[in-house]
Amino acid sequence: MADDGAFCFEQPLNERIRTFLRLEHLLARLRYHEADESVWGRRAAMGALLDILNVMSRHDIRTEVSKELGQRYAGLERLAERDDVDEEALRHVLDELDTLGRELQRVPPQFASYLLRDNELLNSLNNRLPIPGGSCGFDLPAYQHWLAQDAAGIRGDIERWCERILPFENAVRTLLRLLRDSARPRPVTAENGVFVHNTETGTQLIRVLLDDADVYPEISAGRHRATLRFMQYENTDLRVCQAQTSVEFRMACCRY
């Protein structure tokens, strides 16, 4: 993930943010492949869509996102009492969170599970995708037939299946933006490729920004401490080893 020209690596510190980051990743995949109207682009888009629906069906996403929106609204509302706050900007964010919350309430609970169960094409494709090559034409002739339909019809089907995903996409994007903007990255040095940091209470996301593409961090983080080990490829076989030199980077510990 790139951030302002730097290479950005992120480590969530709780399950809710972990799920949000996975959804963000899958939604980016979906939107990228959705623009490709070739058969292979459609196959890739459908794979991303099914991954999203499966994540949503395994978690009570509506409750989790709604709870996070409510907590962020309450926390920001308390800032209105401070004299150094831009009231207009704060009101804009509060209105945005309120609108997102209202949109989520119009989405039926467990819609993803019902869509995967009741839609014959999605159900059959979802059952076959875990099998390597399981979506071949001889395995799923109905899927091959659907992929051969006109572009407008396929686009309409995908848009209809994504309709109830859109409120979650908007809410997750906003929540992660507010979380990332909550802390400014500061310069840090990892001596001999290792850095240990005592995390503040309530930290939800650690962000590491690197200008050097030759190393990457392996982040092990808990409630009280985070350890960063910077790794690099040892040879052309891509064997990994720990960097033995000092590594300059920037780090942000994000919390609301």
| Domain end marker among 159, 180, 201 | 180
Answer yes or no: is 96 within a domain.
yes
Are residues 56 and 175 both part of a single domain? yes
Range of the domain at 101: 11-180
Please count the structural domains in the chain.
2
User: What pTM value is reported for the model?
Assistant: 0.91
What's the whole-number mean pLDDT along residues 167-188? 95
What's the whole-number mean pLDDT along residues 219-245? 87
Are residues 60 and 73 both part of a single domain? yes
On the question of pLDDT at 179 being above 60, the answer is yes
Residue 238 vs residue 39, higher pLDDT: 39
On the question of pLDDT at 223 being above 80, the answer is no
Single-letter amino acid, residue 155: R
**Least confident piece of the model among 64-73, 80-89, 134-143:** 80-89
Are residues 175 and 212 both part of a single domain? no
Are residues 101 and 225 both part of a single domain? no
What's the whole-number mean pLDDT along residues 11-35? 95
Answer yes or no: is 232 within a domain.
yes
| Domain end marker among 150, 180, 210 | 180
Q: What is the CATH number of the domain that holds 238?
A: 2.60.440.10
On the question of pLDDT at 4 being above 80, the answer is no
Are residues 131 and 200 both part of a single domain? no
Single-letter amino acid, residue 60: D
Answer yes or no: is 131 within a domain.
yes
What is residue 236's predicted lDDT score, i.e. its pLDDT?
Answer: 73
**Facing residues of 228 across strands?**
195, 219
Are residues 160 and 216 both part of a single domain? no
Are residues 143 and 199 both part of a single domain? no
Are residues 117 and 170 both part of a single domain? yes
Are residues 30 and 136 both part of a single domain? yes
Beta strands in the chain (DSSP E): 2-3, 6-12, 186-190, 194-198, 205-210, 216-221, 225-233, 240-242, 247-254
Are residues 47 and 153 both part of a single domain? yes
Residue 4 vs residue 88, higher pLDDT: 88
Answer yes or no: is 4 within a domain.
no
What is residue 3's predicted lDDT score, i.e. its pLDDT?
Answer: 61
| Domain end marker among 147, 180, 213 | 180
Answer yes or no: is 5 within a domain.
no
Are residues 24 and 148 both part of a single domain? yes
On the question of pLDDT at 1 being above 60, the answer is no
pLDDT, tens digit, 9 for 90 and up, residues 198-217: 988 889 999 999 997 889 99
3-state secondary structure 170-228: HHHHHHHHHHHCCCCCEEEEEECCEEEEECCCCCCEEEEEECCCCCEEEEEECCCEEEE
Q: What is the mean pLDDT of the chain?
A: 92
Q: What is the CATH number of the domain that holds 164?
A: 1.10.3900.10
Are residues 150 and 191 both part of a single domain? no
